[in-house]
């Protein structure tokens, strides 16, 4: 089993995490680091992918400051979504040996499906839309990009997320569909702290990687980082 690296920086502003993931991807392209999974939370932020229709953003760009959120236009696929407190966001930075992006998306879904099942929540794939669902409500959004065979962006699992944030947009550009939280589906509170080690362990199992604790990259672990230094933790095996 290949060794990888797990980074858990806590709450990180989106702009900082965006720069970090791109820096890590460049390092992975050059084989300077192993496959890496970053698991974190963001302060409130709306991210608009390359397929975002302005109608899906609603008035978010005009109202973001009043709402206490940021808006970022990003280089992943998909449309607009929300990230914020109570949501576990994962950024896998891995080399796709076979370049099969569809299989990669299905593997990410499998990680989350196993995680939701571990908490007693029955979820499923959609035949037409990426992500993990409960009926017509999405509990985990997935949006990715690859560069020179290495993955960027990833998934966002609603654990205790305040779903009212999604009311300002058309989540993932899918009119008529809704969002859900793992806590709601499990019938009990499931926090980011609860879900993180389970997601990490299922990622190990699905992707065939064993996480080892390593020092965090200097680009995001300085003494002046607003949310403290990055840290690594062992995943459930």
CA distance 19 to 2: 26
Cβ atoms of 218 and 25 within 8 Å: the answer is: no
- Element of type H or E holding 70: strand 70-73
Q: How many CB atoms lie within 10 A of CB 107?
A: 15
pLDDT value for 218: 31
What does the pLDDT profile of the chain (237 residues) look like in tens digits? 899 999 999 999 999 999 999 999 999 999 999 999 999 999 999 999 988 888 888 899 899 899 999 999 999 988 899 999 999 999 999 999 888 999 999 999 999 999 999 999 999 999 889 999 999 999 999 999 999 999 999 999 999 999 999 999 888 888 888 999 999 999 999 999 999 999 999 999 999 999 985 433 333 333 333 333 333 333 322
Task: Determine, yes or no, domain membership for 231.
Answer: no
Question: Residue 237: inside a domain, yes or no?
Answer: no
Structure tokens, 231: 């840290």
Is the pTM higher than 0.75? yes
pLDDT of residue 235: 30
- What is the number of structural domains in the chain? 1
66 vs 145: CA distance, rounded Å = 31
E runs forming strands in 159-198: 178-179
Q: What is the pLDDT of residues 136-173, one digit of tens each?
A: 999 999 999 999 999 999 999 999 999 999 999 888 88
User: Which is nearest to 123 in space by CA: 131, 134, 138, 112?
Assistant: 134
Instruction: State the pLDDT at residue 175.
Output: 83
Residue 213's pLDDT is: 57
Kindly report the CATH number assigned to the domain that includes residue 55: 3.30.930.10
Question: For residue 54, what is the enclosing H or E element?
Answer: helix 54-57
Q: Is residue 235 in some structural domain?
A: no
pLDDT of residue 152: 97
Distance of CA 100 to the CA centre of its chain: 19
Nearest to 178 by CA among 85, 89, 81, 84: 81
- Backbone region of residue 213 per phi and psi (left: phi > 0; alpha: psi in -120 to 50; beta: other values): beta
Residue 105 is assigned to a structural domain of this protein: yes
* Owner of token pair 């109202």: 63
Q: Residue 187 sits in which domain range?
A: 2-220
Position 128 scores a pLDDT of 86
**Residues that are catalytic:** 172
Q: Is residue 234 part of a domain?
A: no
């Amino acid at each position: 089993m290949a060794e990888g690296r797990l980074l858990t920086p806590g709450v990180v502003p989106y702009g900082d995490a965006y720069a970090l993931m791109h820096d890590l991807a460049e390092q992975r392209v050059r084989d300077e680091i192993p496959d890496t999974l970053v698991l974190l939370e963001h302060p409130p932020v709306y991210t608009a992918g390359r397929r975002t229709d302005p109608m899906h953003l609603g008035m978010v760009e005009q109202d973001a400051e009043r709402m206490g959120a940021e808006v970022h236009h990003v280089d992943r696929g998909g449309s607009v979504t929300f990230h914020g407190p109570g949501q576990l966001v994962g950024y896998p930075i891995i080399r796709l040996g076979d370049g099969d992006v569809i299989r990669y998306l299905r593997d990410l879904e499998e990680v989350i499906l196993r995680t939701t099942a571990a908490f007693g929540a029955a979820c499923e794939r959609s035949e037409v839309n990426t992500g993990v669902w409960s009926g017509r409500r999405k509990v985990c959004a997935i949006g990715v990009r690859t560069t020179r065979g290495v993955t960027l962006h990833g998934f966002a699992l609603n654990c205790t997320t305040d779903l009212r944030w999604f009311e300002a947009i058309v989540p993932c550009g899918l009119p008529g569909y809704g969002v859900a939280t793992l806590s709601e589906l499990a019938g009990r509170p499931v926090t980011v702290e609860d879900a993180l080690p389970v997601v990490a362990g299922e990622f190990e199992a699905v992707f065939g990687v064993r996480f080892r604790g390593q020092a965090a990259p200097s680009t995001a672990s300085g003494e002046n980082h607003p949310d403290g230094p990055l840290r690594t933790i062992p995943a459930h095996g």
